[in-house]
A and B are shown apart, each in its own frame.
Chain A
Amino acid sequence: MSAKVLLVDDEKEFLDILGERMKLRGMEVKTSSSALAALDVLEKESFDVIILDLMMPEMDGLEALKRIKKNRPELQVILLTGHGSIEKGVEAMRLGAMDFVEKPADLETLSAKIEKARARKMILVERKVEEEIRNILIRKSW
């Protein structure tokens, strides 16, 4: 099963071409040109990983990351940025980002991080399911 990725960036040309290249590599890709549009998409669909631009109009990547982690803590987020500041990187990790990649990004490196993110999400989902089963067994035990 291929990775399901949501790409979020306000640069439409970048979004379209990166999306096309990721599809050529077998990934299932959806794109959003704003953080607000991405949050709407996340209400309706599930993804393995979100690639999120840090600087966007209306809502920046860090604010979007906070909201994503609040509603979908298992979802892995990789931040893409043209600003490589250490402070932003630390803040992003503190808020729960899986990784922080500087633009222009190398797609092979990004693809490896996406695979790692997908694996991490699967582990988190499995643990959640195990926890739920354990709780059911405890509640139903006699």
Chain B
Amino acid sequence: MVDFPQTAGWGILRFFGRISASISHELKNSLSVVNENAGLVEDLALLTAKGRSLDIERVKSLSGSIRRQVKRTDQIIKNMNKFAHSVDMEIKSVDIQEYLELIAAVSARLLAARNITLKLTSPQDRPSIMTSPIFLLYLFWHLIDCCSRWAEPGETLHVDYRGEGGPISIQFQGCTTTNPDFRNDVEGGDLSVLLTLLGCSLDWDSAQPGMNLSFQNNLLGKG
């Protein structure tokens, strides 16, 4: 069994906190729309009681808005639930694309605040890997957080996942800064611990701005 060292403790707690805060913010926004819709229905009911004719189409559109927010909130909570359950097992078979999509979803608000677009591309087949779900999410988040923090507002971050018939690699491209602090930021924190734990390596692309995350083997040595 892999032994997860304490040195990753604080960083991962902060990661969990930031994701939780972002999710709670999204939920509040959704609740605010529902609250205003409910308030407007009340306002229209009061006006109707005072003799104004009821606009049925308006009421239908308010109902539609509430349904949209319910759907939105449901998806947010599904993501939150998936994220929360990533600590259920230390090692399990993980669909990397699914986890990239999860991190993209829970980071959406952060990326929007920085005015950064995230574009995920993936292979047709979706190989799985035996690894630690929570530390994988933490690693993805660390790389996306650093890239989006240093990218220029308006830039698009491309996360290109390759794995057909060979070793799995993920390219993170789009952050064009030449500031050396960007590299220090990426390589700082818990990165080296995470790379060791997850059995992967991170290389900087010399041809174009970006980096390549490669998975050498599954944890536990199972192929």
Contacts and interface: CB of A to CB of B under 8 A. Distances in A.
Interface of A: 10-11, 13-14, 17-18, 20-21, 24, 55-58, 60, 82-83, 103-105, 107
B43 interface: yes
Contacts of A104: 28, 31-32, 34-36
Label chain A's interface by main secondary structure: loop
B33 interface: yes
Interface string B35-48: 11101100100010
Contacts of B56: none
Interface in B60-74: 62, 65, 68-69
Contacts of B39: 17, 21, 107
A129 B37 CA distance: 42
13 contacts: A10-B112, A13-B33, A13-B68, A17-B40, A18-B36, A57-B112, A57-B113, A60-B113, A82-B28, A82-B29, A103-B35, A104-B31, A104-B32
Interface of B: 21, 24-25, 27-29, 31-37, 39-40, 43, 47, 62, 65, 68-69, 109, 112-115, 153
Contacts of B113: 55-57, 60
A20 B55 CA distance: 14
Contacts of A103: 28-29, 31-32, 35
Contacts of B25: 55, 82-83
Contacts of B62: 17
Contact of B115 (A13, A57, A82): A57
Contacts of A60: 113
Nearest to A58: B115
Contacts of B29: 11, 14, 82, 103
Nearest to B24: A82
Nearest to A18: B36
A14 B115 contact: no
Nearest to B58: A20
B58 to A, nearest CB: 9
A62 B210 CA distance: 32
B66 to A, nearest CB: 10
Given A57-B114, A83-B25, 14 more contacts: A11-B32, A13-B68, A14-B36, A17-B33, A17-B36, A17-B37, A21-B40, A24-B43, A55-B25, A82-B25, A83-B21, A104-B28, A104-B31, A104-B34
A58 B116 CA distance: 9
